Structure 1
Amino acid sequence: MYSKLLLALVLTVSAFASSATTTISGTKDYGGATVGTSCDGASESQAPVFVLTDGSTIKNVVIKAGGGADGIHCLGSCTIQSVKWADVCEDAATMKGGSGKTMNVVGGSAYKASDKVFQHNGIGSTIKISGFAADTIGKLYRSCGNCSSNGGPRKVVISSTKLANVSASVVGINTNFGDTATITGLQIKGYKSGSPKVCVAYKGVQSGSESPLIGEQWNTANCIVKTTNVTSY
């Protein structure tokens, strides 16, 4: 009896934790399971929990608190559907795919991202976020301000998304690289004009220096969002 109980415990722990990155090709449905690796604070040298190859989909998984590491890396076009981050470690997901590639985030949620939820590195690519929710975050999205061989454009499209307790801004983009942010149907808990800032422009630079802040923009060629697209709840 004891050995059977021990075996069951080992199998249960194995289902919820892994020490290595999992690479996904095709479609993987986790059926609501909780997984994770580790978390070394804001270290950018952490390995991701998942790597999504071009054309792949991950769905219905919870990434556990203390196990989010560098989240999900999307290497080309990918879909992240109904994925929940119990506590974001470094970033929830990073778009690394290049020109013409799209990372689709459909549904899901994230909690406690001290910096940003979604990091956008791939030049010429797009991140689409729809039906997502996040609470206690710095930013929802940031186009890389100081990547090596940095440039653009990068595009983000956000729709039907609900946020709470945003400490910095909803998105940050590099207007000098031609980045764009298109935002509709955004709800922010207790939102008042300027608190939090919605679409913030930066000047993108190369690795080794910090990206200078320009400021919040509305209804411009880069920040494609009107005040009517953002409501309080």
Structure 2
Amino acid sequence: MKGSVIFSLLALAAGIHAQSSRPGRGGKGCSSSGAGGAIRPGQDETANNPPVANSPTRPPPLDDTGDDEEEEEEESSPSSSPSPSPPVLDESEDRPSTNGTGKGSGGGSGGGSSGGGSSGGGGSGGGGSGGGGSGGGSSGGGGSGGGIEPEGRPNTNGTGKGSGGSSGGGGSLSTTLPASAGTVQESAAIEVSGEFDGGMQTFERSPSVCTDGESGQDAAMFILADGATLSNVIIGQGQAEGVQCSGICTLNNVWFETVCEDAMTFRQQGGISYINGGGAFGARDKIVQFNGRGTVHITNFYADGYGKLARSCGNCKANGGPREFIIEGVQAVNGGGLCGVNSNFGDKCTIINSCQGEGNACTIWEGTEGGGEPTQLSAEPDGTSCIAESFQPTC
């Protein structure tokens, strides 16, 4: 009896052990597969692996219809297709300010009846809310227009300086004598070195020195030293020789009520002088007399009633050249040619975008070296001594 009981207990224990050894049961297995448990037939070997940091995520399969080309290109890796660089501002362009309180692009010392700067003026018009345009003139360049940074970038807070030239310049041509801000009477010529701004006053010689005969420099209204600038004046009829430039000079917005003998005389021995804006009325002979050497550049000037607008001296003592006129944006009526030059001295006149009411562009002469009278050779452009570009025979 005792032996059969022991046998039964041993058989029961063996059965329990065999049952616990089978896979798929809830008890702990003795398999060598490790802590993860046994792998069932057909089970993915990676199913129980933990996620790994920075492991690449495989993108979903593409729908191969041809519509996802752009998306595929955007998702390409940096190593195979670098992303485009951010846009870079083109610093070679002069863009206007968008908030304009800086100076305009003309700069300089003003000039013209309604604009400053030799290439556009610095008034309150143009370029967004600033830049070149119609303001400035009588107050000398500048204005409320927008600026251009020195590097060419646009000024967005309106405090940049203008980028224009140093010679001033008329922003637009006017055909009307400006209103005078008052009259200043002088018994002798006013000598100017540096800059002189007349504030649109009329300057008059009293007593008058205008006569029918020849006169000298002492009969002028202004005598300018080399490098001087005269701006915003009206010159009355009591003077005889207007403005005398001893060297290079700049005339901005200078007007002549009536020209007695010559309005402006240039005696420089080289370099460039500028006449920017302004105008003259009733000249019985020349408006501009060029006795020196170098270049006189006339821009946006108006002339009404005159003999010659600009003439290089035909018979000065020790006469010679070369002398050059550049006449640009000029309107002249009731008179002769815009320029007269001596071809034998190498003189040259270039007319650009200008008109003359009677169709007289230029005259070409053979000058003398003192004594005698010059001889006229031609009354029209020849392409060498006189070049007319966009010249209009009517105004």
- Calculate the TM-score normalised by the size of structure 2: 0.51
Distance across 1 between alignment mates of 2:214 and 2:263: 13
Q: Secondary structure at the match of 1:208?
A: coil
1:92 equivalenced with 2:257 (yes/no) = no
CA distance 1:140–1:42, shift in 2 (3 Å): farther
The worse-fitting range, judged by mean Cα deviation, of 168-177 and 44-53 is 44-53
How far apart in 2 are the matches of 1:42 and 1:36?
A: 19
SS in 1 for 2:265: strand
What secondary structure does 1:36 align onto? strand
Give the superposition deviation at 1:179: 0.1
C-alpha separation in 2, matches of 1:160 and 1:170: 12
| Structure 1 partner of 2:289 | 119
Deviation at 1:36, TM superposition (A): 1.9
Stretches of structure 1 lacking an aligned partner (at least 5 in a row): 1-13
Deviation at 1:231, TM superposition (A): 4.4
Which shifted more, 67-76 or 103-112? 67-76
The CA distance in 1 between the partners of 2:229 and 2:314, in whole Å, is: 27
Q: What is the SS of the residue equivalent to 2:283?
A: strand
8 A Cα contact 2:215 2:240, kept in partner: no
Find the counterpart in structure 1 of residue 242 from structure 2.
Answer: 71
What secondary structure, in the 3-state scheme, does the structure 2 residue paired with 1:214 have?
Answer: strand
* Deviation sequence 1:83-109 (CA, Å, 0-9, x none): 11000011000000102x222000001
How many percent of aligned residue pairs carry the same amino acid?
A: 36
How far the C-alpha of 1:164 sits from its partner, in A, is 0.9
- What does 1:123-202 correspond to in 2, within 5 Å? 123=293, 125-166=294-335, 168-189=336-357, 191=358, 195=359, 197-202=360-365
Matched, 1:61 2:233: yes
Deviation at 1:230, TM superposition (A): 2.3
| Structure of larger gyration radius | 2
Rounded to whole Å, the distance in 2 between the matches of 1:181 and 1:135 is 20
Please name the residue that 1:110 is paired with: 280
Q: 1: distance between equivalents of 2:361 and 2:274?
A: 21
Paired letter, 2:341: I
Residues in 2 aligned to 1:214 and 1:77: alpha-carbon distance in whole angstroms: 30
The structure-2 alpha-carbon separation of the partners of 1:15 and 1:87, relative to structure 1 and needing over 3 Å to count, comes to closer
CA contact (8 A) 2:262 2:289 kept: yes
Is the contact made by 2:183 and 2:204 (CA closer than 8 Å) also made in structure 1?
no
Return the alpha-carbon distance in structure 2 between the equivalents of residues 122 and 30 of structure 1: 26
Match of 1:207 among 354, 367, 370: 370
TM-fit CA distance, 1:16: 2.1
Cα distance between partner residues in 1 of 2:325 and 2:263 = 16
1:60 alignment partner AA = N
> Which structure has greater strand proportion?
1
Q: Deviations over 1:36-87 (max 9, x none)?
A: 213123423352211111111001100012x231111111111111011000
How many pairs are equivalent?
210
Pick 1 or 2: higher relative contact order, CA cutoff 8 A, min separation 6.
Answer: 1
RMSD: 1.6
Match of 2:167 in 1: none
Q: What is the CA-CA distance between 1:218 and the residue it aligns to?
A: 1.9
Using the alignment, how far apart are the partners of 2:215 and 2:309 within structure 1? 18
Amino acid at match of 2:196: K
Name the residue aligned to 1:10.
none
- Supply the distance in 1 between the matched residues of 2:217 and 2:199 (Cα, whole angstroms): 26
